[in-house]
Amino acid sequence: MKPEDFDLIHVNPDALQRVDPGALRAADDPGHKPRVLLLYGSIRERSFSRFVAEEAERLLLWQDCETRLYNPNGLPQPDGDDTHPKVKELREAALWAEAMVWVSPERHGGMTGIMKSQIDWLPLAPIGGVRPTQGKTLAVMQVSGGSQSFNAVNQMRILGRWMRMITIPNQSSVAKAWLEFDDNDRMKPSPYYNRIIDVVEELVKFTWMTRARSPYLVDRYSERVESVEQVHARVSKET
């Protein structure tokens, strides 16, 4: 398949390469396409964080991944109704995913409340004995209305650590985002766009490399001595 088949209109087809799973996957890898959940932090009609997430999704599909792009519009505030359909959709997608992409605008020097609310609905305590984020890979990106900043991605890295995710080294910060998209809401060719390609490629590599190994990588003594009931009780007190 060619890049244009995936609506990748601003890439150099001679430089774009698919990740080679055979060079990375474990012997007991499940073999299916990597499953990636994308979250973005704005519900504006013209949302640059959504546009970045959509560009990332096209690149992930090119890399032979399965994707789900979650729309946060209508998600209730954390600690509200956890039976709400939008909460159930988000949690089911988190359990399904093996990797995530978080894209937030920077607002008032940090990530948006919309972004944080989505993350806060992903509980640290196990659901049916399974933590929804533990050991999964994560890529973080942000968009800014002004000069380049890294406040939002730095905050999301902290959250990724708290969610016990494997956050990849690379990241993206798009400055003056309103200048980086054309009238069709597609990202223009630029070093910012190239960095998004880099981030997606690295996320796919880390996902292939770690997904079958993540239970061992994140296994720790302090949890082996606790029962599931004790973990529930402790985490409930901590949060």
Domains and CATH numbers, the chain: 30-238 (3.40.50.360)
Residue 107, classed as helix, strand or coil, is strand
Predicted confidence band of residue 81 (pLDDT cuts 50, 70, 90):
confident
- pLDDT score for 35: 98
pLDDT at 230 exceeding the cut of 80:
no
pLDDT at 190 exceeding the cut of 60:
yes
Whole-number CA gyration radius for the chain: 18
Strand partners, 36: 67, 99
Q: Is pLDDT larger for residue 234 or for residue 12?
A: 12
Strand partners, 110: 107
- pLDDT score for 151: 94
Residues 82-99 have a mean pLDDT of 95
Q: Is pLDDT larger for residue 186 or for residue 131?
A: 186
16 vs 90: CA distance, rounded Å = 31
Read off the pTM. Answer: 0.91
* Residue among 238, 156, 163, 168 at smallest CA distance from 206: 168
- pLDDT score for 79: 87
Task: For 215, list phi and psi in degrees, rounded to 5.
Answer: -60, -35
- pLDDT score for 235: 63
Residues 215-236 have a mean pLDDT of 74
pLDDT at 231 exceeding the cut of 70:
no
Q: Which of 78-82, 125-129, 192-196 holds the top average pLDDT?
A: 192-196
- pLDDT score for 228: 62
Among 1-10, 46-55, 64-73, 105-114, the range scoring the smallest mean pLDDT is 1-10
pLDDT, the chain, mean = 91
- pLDDT score for 124: 74
Look-up: residue for tokens 């990588």? 217
Residues 19-26 have a mean pLDDT of 94
* Residue among 127, 107, 125, 128 at smallest CA distance from 116: 107
133 vs 145: CA distance, rounded Å = 30
